[in-house]
Amino acid sequence: MSVLNMVLYPDDPLTQKAESYEEIGPELVKLKDDMVETMHAYEGVGLAGPQVGISKRIFVMQEPEQDALCLINPEILNSEGEQVGEEGCLSIPEIYADVVRADRLVVRALNEHGQTMTIEAEGYAARIILHEYDHLEGIVFLDRLDILSRQAKLSEWNEVRARVLAEGPTAPRL
Ligand code: ZN
C-alpha cells in the first residue's frame, strides 16, 4: 500500500466533474487500499478520487470504530432532513466551517469488488457521504457557504495554502 499525494484546492481535478467507472477491475482493490491508507495518514474520515488526482467517481470513508468503505459510481437515491455541523477537508487543511447537509440518505454504489451496495446513512455518516459526493461533482464544502463566509474562508485559505506549499504540500500531517 502507498500514501498518495494530496491535491490542494483549487488545483485540478478538484473543481472538475469526475467520470464514472465503466468497469470495476482488480486494480480497484489496490486503489481502495491506497486511498484508505492515505486517508489514515492524513487523519481524515473520507477521501475522494479527485483529492489524489484521480478524476473518477470513487471515494472511501470511515466512521469511528467501523470498517472503511469504498463507494464507486455512487448515486444518492433519497435525502431527507437537515443538519448543521463543522466540516474540514484534506484538500483545504486547517480551514473549518459549519455546513448545512441533509440528515438521512439512501445511497447506492458499487464496492471495490464491483458488488452493488445500498447504504442507509444518517447524521455524521450522511455528512461524510455528501461531502465526498460533492468532490465527485467538483464541489468543495466552501462552495456550500453563503457568499460572505465563503470569501472570508477563501482568504484564510490563501494564507494557509501559501504556508502549506512552502512547507511541502504532500507531507501527511501525522
Ligand atoms: Zn474534502
Q: What is the CA radius of gyration of the chain?
A: 15
CA trace torsion 123, 152, 93, 34 (10° rounding): 60
For 29-67, write each residue's pLDDT tens digit.
999 999 999 999 999 999 999 999 999 999 999 998 999
Question: Do residues 109 and 72 make contact, with C-beta atoms less than 8 angstroms apart?
Answer: yes
Tell whether the model's pLDDT for residue 170 goes beyond 80: no
Report the separation in Å between the CA atom of 113 and the middle of ligand 1, taken as the mean of its atom positions. Answer: 24
Catalytic residue (choose from 132, 137, 159, 167)? 132
Active site residue 132: yes
Question: Do residues 80 and 57 make contact, with C-beta atoms less than 8 angstroms apart?
Answer: no
For 102-114, write each residue's pLDDT tens digit.
999 999 999 999 9
Read off the C-alpha cell for 169: 504540500
Domains of the chain: 27-167 (3.90.45.10)
Report the separation in Å between the CA atom of 87 and the middle of ligand 1, taken as the mean of its atom positions. Answer: 8
Amino acid 25: pLDDT: 94
Report the separation in Å between the CA atom of 30 and the middle of ligand 1, taken as the mean of its atom positions. Answer: 21
Amino acid 174: pLDDT: 46
Band of pLDDT at residue 86, cut at 50, 70 and 90: very high
- SS3 annotation, 59-128: EEECCCCCCCEEEEEEEEEEEECCEEEEECCCCCCCCCEEEEECCEEEEEEECCCCCEEEEEEECHHHHH
Report the separation in Å between the CA atom of 88 and the middle of ligand 1, taken as the mean of its atom positions. Answer: 7
Tell whether the model's pLDDT for residue 171 goes beyond 90: no
Report the separation in Å between the CA atom of 78 and the middle of ligand 1, taken as the mean of its atom positions. Answer: 22
- Nearest to residue 105, comparing CAs of 141, 81, 136, 138? 81
